[in-house]
Amino acid sequence: MESRLEKIKTVVEIIFKLVSIAALLVSGIWVLYHFVLTDEMGSNIELSLSTNQIKLNDKSTLLVTHAHPANRGKAPVEIGGKVGGSFRITVKQIKEKDMKDGEWLNQESLPVVKDTDILRHHKGGYIIEPNGSYDDVESIALSPGIYHIEANLEWSEDYFNVYSIVKIE
């Protein structure tokens, strides 16, 4: 009778060990998939730009820019401070001589009206938390004309540029 009990005990121990090995293999494959193949812990930054206009008088309009960084990843992204990087908004004027029929606008050659560092408001740097979405606002008074607006977000891993063209009347 004891011999039969010993055999059952041995079979149960073998099954337990096989199930443990299978669990380790499944968890290893899960970790490999989520953290290596899909880079789930990496950054997933999105940047968008929107503008509003507030008429001040016949000669000037306040252009309000909204730079919207968002982190769709599961790891925080740090910009500025000790890690470096920048977050800028640049306003360039588009003059009639810059526009030629059938040709793309050369953004690099446009004269800069104003370039500002959004990080100046964040002395220790800027951390975009996982699933965080922010709205950084900068304003500038502009005379009538056409303007090229650029938001630029740059850090150690990547960079993003978004653009908008506005007409101030």
- Rounded mean pLDDT of 38-59? 84
Q: Please check the confidence at residue 159 and state whether its pLDDT lies above 90.
A: no
* Rounded-to-integer distance, Cα 88 and Cα 114, Å: 10
Residues 4, 5, 9, 12, CA torsion sign: positive
Q: What is the pLDDT of residues 52-99, one digit of tens each?
A: 999 999 999 999 999 999 988 878 888 887 778 889 999 999 988 878
When comparing pLDDT for 49 and 3, which is higher?
49
Q: Name the amino acid, one letter, at 107.
A: Q
What is the residue whose two structure tokens read 């930054």? 45
pLDDT at 85: 84
pLDDT at 101: 85
Q: What is the pLDDT of residues 97-139, one digit of tens each?
A: 878 888 888 888 899 999 999 888 888 788 888 888 999 999 9
Q: Please check the confidence at residue 39 and state whether its pLDDT lies above 70.
A: no
* Rounded-to-integer distance, Cα 149 and Cα 28, Å: 47
pTM value is 0.73
Band of pLDDT at residue 41, cut at 50, 70 and 90: low
